[in-house]
């Protein structure tokens, strides 16, 4: 785990020798909370600049800050610049966006995602702390046609990694020659998280009366970006039925460096509320909730796992444990409002064996802090 940390440290301490840098804008960032903040991504609109190379630095500092450029509308021009400032409690910092005659030095693509046709048609994503996958139309059709090896679910699978470098490509490659390779821990982690038809970690449902309804597998995807700060992509689903309601669903999912939770922005038609679920597996864990978050902490093989969903005050309604004798259909749900045909929430996990969280209390403290931050975002001004 030290390699990536040392790489980023060396890059951040590299003294800039760019003689032609020009200030494009000054960015003032205020942290109004009494806690230090890092690993929160700031997005800067650069669509109006005709600049080839950029640089970000703290005011009165020559230290380089890692950033990522994103072409959000696929027109061949970068629209947004991403970076992650470190802001102490109750403080304000200024950063400079500059033009440069130098490209940013090569950085590790820690936040990564891709479609995986060699494993039926998964879509997988990861950062330096966690990894996930979900399942596409070929896997669905295999189940419907009675072909072995398919998967029928719109639930979210958790890949329990315990290294801070990318593992998706490595694990899938190993599975090509060793069947089920990523279901065993070879020192980097494993996939021992069962999804089935459950919501996994953060899949959605629509509740009608006392029953929950949900989509099948995604039907198409679009990768937006990968890089050192963020990966993001869009999954589209076929319209689906919730007891007579026709539901239209598209998920825009992103995962940022340093976070355990993916961000879900779900575009919806046909419902005023949704339920975001955490699978209860063997029902031998502990549920908890507090205002904006829900948690499920459970034993898992030789370790323990915390799952969580967080939403802001604007979306959060309440939570509900749904227990049933039907296989994989017991979930812990948080019910959220649909506002202007969309919902935003965050879902993910923490694995004790990764040494990121040692106890249920540690995990729930992380969720509490995360909720506090999304309800009190960094205050950004372009000067």
Task: Assess whether 143 and 69 both reside in one domain.
Answer: no
In the predicted structure, residue 61 carries a pLDDT above the cut 90: no
Same domain, 120 and 145: yes
- Looking at the structure of the chain, the number of domains it has is 2
Percentage with pLDDT > 90 across the chain: 90
Q: Are residues 122 and 172 in the same domain?
A: yes
Q: Which pLDDT band holds residue 18 (cuts at 50, 70, 90)?
A: low
pLDDT score of 43 more than 50: yes
Q: What is the pLDDT of residue 2?
A: 41
Verify that 124 and 31 share a domain, yes or no.
Answer: no
Q: What is the mean pLDDT of residues 17-41?
A: 89
Average pLDDT over residues 172-179: 94
In a domain, 209, yes or no: yes
Identify whether 381 is part of a domain: no
Over range 156-168, report the average pLDDT. 98
State the average pLDDT over residues 72-90: 96
Residue 328 belongs to domain with CATH number:
2.70.98
Do 156 and 188 sit in the same domain of this protein?
yes
- Residue that terminates a domain, selected from 49, 82, 103: 103
Mean pLDDT across 162-171: 98
Residue 296 is predicted with a pLDDT of 99
Query: What's the domain range around 58?
Result: 2-103
The enclosing domain of 68 has a CATH number of: 2.60.40.1180
Based on the fold, state whether residues 98 and 187 are members of the same structural domain.
no
Show which of 103, 120, 143 is a domain's final residue.
103
The whole-number pLDDT of residue 20 equals 63
Q: Is the pLDDT of residue 14 over 60?
A: no
Dump pLDDT digits (tens) for 196-212.
999 999 999 999 999 99
Do 67 and 180 fall into the same domain? no
120-146 tens-digit pLDDT: 999 999 999 999 999 999 999 999 999
Q: Per the domain annotation, does 75 fall within a domain?
A: yes
Give the per-residue pLDDT at 11: 37
**Mean pLDDT across the stretch 247-253?**
99
Q: What is the pLDDT of residue 3?
A: 42
- Whether the pLDDT of residue 93 is over 50: the answer is yes
Q: Say if 382 falls within a structural domain.
A: no
Q: Are residues 308 and 236 in the same domain?
A: yes
**pLDDT recorded at residue 63:** 85
Q: Are residues 119 and 69 in the same domain?
A: no
Domain-located, residue 383: no
Of 51-65, 103-117, 274-288, give the lowest mean pLDDT range: 51-65
* Structural domain includes residue 380: no
**Is the confidence at residue 103, as pLDDT, over 50?**
yes
Contact 240, 212 (CB under 8 A): no
Domain end position, chosen among 69, 103, 137? 103
**Per-residue pLDDT at 110 exceeds 80:** yes
pTM of the model: 0.93
Flag whether pLDDT at 258 surpasses 50.
Answer: yes
Both 90 and 139 in one domain: the answer is no
Asked if 61 and 193 sit in the same domain, the reply is no
Answer whether residue 349 is part of any domain. Answer: yes
For residues 171 and 80, state if they share a domain.
Answer: no
Least confident of 18-27, 77-86, 238-247: 18-27
Is residue 335 situated within a structural domain? yes
7: pLDDT strictly greater than 80: no
Q: Is the pLDDT of residue 4 over 70?
A: no
Structure confidence at residue 5 (pLDDT)? 42
Output the pLDDT for position 12. Answer: 40
């Amino acid at each position: 785990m030290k390699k990536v940390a040392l790489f980023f440290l060396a890059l951040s301490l590299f003294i800039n020798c760019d003689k032609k840098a020009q200030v494009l804008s000054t960015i003032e960032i205020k942290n109004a909370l009494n806690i230090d903040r890092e690993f929160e991504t700031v997005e800067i609109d650069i669509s109006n600049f005709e600049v080839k190379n950029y640089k970000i630095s703290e005011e009165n500092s020559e230290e380089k800050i890692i950033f990522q450029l994103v072409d959000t509308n696929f027109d061949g021009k970068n629209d947004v610049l991403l970076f992650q400032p470190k802001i102490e409690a109750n403080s304000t910092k200024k950063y400079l966006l500059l033009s440069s005659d130098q490209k940013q030095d090569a950085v590790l693509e820690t936040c990564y995602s891709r479609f995986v046709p060699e494993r039926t048609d998964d879509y997988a994503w990861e950062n330096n702390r966690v990894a996930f996958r979900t399942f596409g139309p070929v896997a669905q059709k295999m189940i419907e046609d009675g072909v072995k090896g398919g998967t029928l679910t719109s639930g979210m699978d958790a890949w329990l990694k315990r290294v801070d470098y990318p593992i998706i490509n490595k694990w899938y490659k190993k599975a090509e020659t060793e069947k089920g390779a990523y279901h065993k821990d070879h020192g980097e982690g494993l996939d021992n998280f069962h999804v089935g038809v459950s919501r996994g970690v953060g899949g959605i449902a629509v509740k009608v009366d006392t029953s929950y309804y949900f989509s099948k597998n995604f039907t198409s995807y679009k990768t937006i970006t990968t890089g050192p700060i963020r990966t993001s992509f869009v999954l589209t689903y076929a319209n689906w039925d919730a007891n007579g309601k026709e539901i239209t669903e598209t998920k825009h999912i992103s995962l940022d460096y340093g976070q355990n939770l993916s961000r879900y922005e779900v575009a919806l038609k046909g419902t005023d509320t949704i339920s975001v679920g955490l699978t209860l597996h063997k029902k031998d864990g502990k549920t908890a909730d507090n205002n904006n978050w829900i948690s499920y902490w459970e034993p898992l093989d030789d370790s323990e796992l915390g799952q969580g969903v967080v939403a802001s005050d604007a979306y959060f309604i309440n939570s509900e444990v749904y227990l049933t004798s039907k296989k994989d259909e017991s979930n812990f749900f948080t019910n959220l409002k649909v506002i202007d045909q969309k919902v935003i929430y965050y879902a993910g996990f923490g694995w004790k064996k990764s040494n990121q969280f040692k106890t249920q209390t540690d995990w729930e403290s992380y969720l509490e802090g995360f909720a506090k931050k999304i309800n009190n975002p960094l205050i950004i001004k372009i000067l």
